[in-house]
Amino acid sequence: MAERKQPVRFGIAMSQTCPWDELVERWQEVEALGFDTVWLVDHFISGNEPGKDEDIYFEAWAALAGLAMATSRIRFGCMVSGNTYRNPALLAKQAVTVDHISKGRLEFGIGAGWWEREHAAYGYHFPSKGELVDRFREALEIIESLQHNQRTDYHGKYYFMDDAPFEPKPLQQPHIPLVIGAFGPRMLRLAAKYADIWNTRRPPAAAQELSELLDAKCAEVGRDPAAIMRSVWPSTAPWDSLDSAREMTEQYHAAGFTDLIFTWPARDQVETMRAFAREAMPDLRGR
């Protein structure tokens, strides 16, 4: 496993399924507690079954623009944007706009897309797995070109651009840090080529195996694997106790992960998150 030189970061992820004022308060508290990052998700509905999918669900990128104005220090993003929901040129324009609004605090999360029910509900074509990855590769090529080049021509199988200008360029140079959520071999190869941060949601042992596969993909594309931050958003929250949060952090850090993102706690566990920020994060960052 490649040596990781990045400092340890801590973040909080949440669905944008509460009233707007409460969402703003949550983000402001996460910032005030000293977390390094805060995240929304790119969904439009909250469940698979009729009657269970009618919760509030704000659109992610419009919400990010508003939340950027309500915070001042913390880095943030979408964990992660579904490529199938937006033309990649539009997504790049949204990201650069939010980068400027936030004075360079955005992290650009993107993945291939996966939730068939959501696609059907809103009339989006849901491709095969192979096509999802092929579309994602083209999207990454376009997003990279737009941020670096004065004009972009692109003639792919799924996307087309004709002498497209792109201004302004991002405040963050050479580009907005790109966060790729990936776990399959083809997606990990794309992460090896393009990602500044790679994110997974696997348990520690499985996450370490994927991280080692990413190292191998980096060798294939000629990139130093230590250049990619290893990020995890565990599928289970650690807020049963302060000890469980510490233990989860240490397990992932031992597996080579330096970017830890935990889910916003249930109401009766918020005090554990606050205690973790005050009592554990300073010590765990130093390891």
Task: Check residue 46 and give its pLDDT.
Answer: 82
Please state whether the predicted TM-score (pTM) of the whole model is above 0.85.
yes
Measured CA to CA, the distance from residue 160 to residue 146 in angstroms comes to 13
Spans of all domains in the chain: 9-285
> For residue 4, is pLDDT > 90?
no
Measured CA to CA, the distance from residue 226 to residue 45 in angstroms comes to 36
Task: Check residue 2 and give its pLDDT.
Answer: 46
Measured CA to CA, the distance from residue 243 to residue 179 in angstroms comes to 29
Which CATH number among 3.20.20.30, 3.40.50.620, 3.40.50.1970, 3.40.50.1820 corresponds to the domain 9-285?
Answer: 3.20.20.30
Nearest to 226 by CA among 197, 249, 255: 197
CA separation (Å) from 152 to 2, 144, 193? 35, 10, 20
Nearest to 208 by CA among 255, 147, 269: 255
For residues 180-196, average pLDDT: 96
Strand pairing report for 151-155 and 160-165: antiparallel
Integer distance in angstroms from the first to the last C-alpha of the chain? 18
Distance of CA 160 to the CA centre of its chain: 26
Task: Check residue 287 and give its pLDDT.
Answer: 61
> pLDDT tens digits, residue range 27-55?
999 999 999 999 999 999 887 666 666 67
pLDDT grade for 194, boundaries at 50, 70 and 90: very high
The answer to which of 212-221, 257-266, 278-287 has the lowest mean pLDDT is 278-287
Q: Write down the residue that tokens 């918020």 correspond to.
A: 270
For residues 144-161, average pLDDT: 97
Share of the chain above pLDDT 70, in %: 95
> pLDDT tens digits, residue range 79-114?
999 999 999 999 999 999 999 999 999 999 999 999
> pLDDT tens digits, residue range 169-185?
999 999 999 999 999 99
Nearest to 141 by CA among 183, 89, 186, 95: 89
Helix axes 204-221, 242-254, angle to 10 degrees: 30
Which alpha helices (DSSP H) does 112-171 contain, by range? 116-122, 129-148
